[in-house]
């Protein structure tokens, strides 16, 4: 079986102890660290911004997987690059000129990810899939951690797997929202490559063990 990547979401971390949280992440089996940036416009919440993430980026030894839930994300390519981010994910719904934004992210030296809200169909990626490094499927409506997984996501993972195979594209499939030991097996079976997990990791009694458990889950 292929190796599943785990990208813990900082949104559920103890912000009063970011150094302690990053020490644990650094010594865990986490593959990446997922950073959720919100603007109170694209989503009905505000999380953290670049002044905070500058310190997170200094403390974290894992590649950064940045998820921008903001309007006009192309305005912040330079700031995301300055964090030394590995991946920049922008929302399909926030980018009328998605092709240009994807090229700009890649020109800045990062991998480019496109994110779909739960109600946005996978078929809309037909003409961009070959250009992207990852598709992030939201399995909750973005804006908050700790929400319930939307089961229809499994069908979207399967359609996306088909689209990627048909186009001979290389994009990874990441899923974000309500991912835990109960929802992960079916996602893996459906063809996910990367699991984002916030509460399931940071609110667990033993974070490193919670990450380990997600790493060893097999498809159902």
Smallest gap from residue 8 Cβ to ligand DX5 (A): 9
- 14 Cα distance to chain centroid: 19
Pick from 21, 133, 174, 176 the residue near Zn ion by CB under 5 A. 176
Q: ∠ CA 34-79-125 to the nearest 5 degrees? A: 60
Residue 64, strand partner residues: 33
Does 34 bind ligand DX5 (CB under 6 A)? Our answer is yes
Annotation: binding site for substrate: 9, 67, 143-146, 176-178, 198-199
Name 79's Cβ contacts closer than 8 Å, sequence gap at least 6: 50
Query: Which of Zn ion, ligand DX5, none does residue 146 bind to, with CB < 5 to 8 Å depending on kind?
Result: ligand DX5
**Which residues are CB-neighbours of 41 under 8 A, at least 6 positions away?**
70, 71
* Coil, helix or strand at residue 217: coil
In the complex, the smallest distance separating the C-beta of residue 92 from ligand DX5, rounded to whole angstroms, is: 14
Kindly write out the interface string for residues 35-54 of this chain, putting x where it contacts ligand DX5 by CB under 6 A and - elsewhere: -x------------------
Q: CB-wise, 73 or 177, nearer to ligand DX5?
A: 177
Q: Which of 21, 42, 57, 67 binds Zn ion (CB under 5 A)?
A: 67
Active site residue 176: yes
* Under rule CB under 5 A, residue 36 binds Zn ion: yes
173-204 as b/e: b if 16+ CB within 10 A: bbbbbbbbeebbebbbebbbbbbbbbbbbbeb
State yes or no: residue 65 binds Zn ion (CB under 5 A). no
Q: What are the distances in angstroms from CA 40 to CA 17, 50, 142? A: 24, 15, 11
List of residues contacting ligand DX5 (CB under 6 A): 9, 11-12, 34, 36, 67, 140, 142-147, 176-179, 196-200
Instruction: Just list the catalytic residues.
Output: 36, 176
């Amino acid at each position: 079986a292929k190796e599943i990547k785990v990208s813990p979401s900082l949104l559920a971390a103890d912000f009063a102890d970011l150094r302690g949280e990053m020490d644990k992440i650094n010594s865990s089996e986490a593959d990446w660290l997922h950073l959720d940036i919100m603007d109170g416009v694209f989503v009905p919440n505000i999380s953290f911004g670049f002044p905070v993430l500058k310190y997170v980026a200094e403390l974290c030894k894992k590649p950064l997987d940045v998820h921008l839930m903001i309007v006009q994300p192309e305005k912040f390519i330079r700031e995301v690059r300055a964090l030394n981010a590995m991946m920049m994910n922008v929302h399909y719904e926030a980018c009328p000129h998605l092709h240009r934004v994807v090229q700009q992210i890649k020109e800045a030296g990062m991998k480019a990810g496109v994110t779909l809200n739960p109600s946005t169909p996978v078929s809309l990626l037909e003409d961009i899939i070959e250009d992207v490094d990852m598709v992030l499927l939201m399995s909750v409506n973005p804006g908050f951690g700790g929400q319930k997984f939307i089961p229809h996501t499994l069908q979207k993972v399967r359609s996306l797997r088909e689209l990627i195979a048909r186009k001979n594209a290389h994009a990874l499939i990441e899923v974000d929202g309500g991912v835990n030991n109960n929802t992960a097996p079916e996602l893996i079976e459906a063809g996910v490559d990367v699991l984002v997990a916030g509460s399931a990791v940071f609110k667990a009694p033993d974070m490193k063990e919670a990450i380990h458990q997600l790493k060893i889950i097999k498809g159902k």
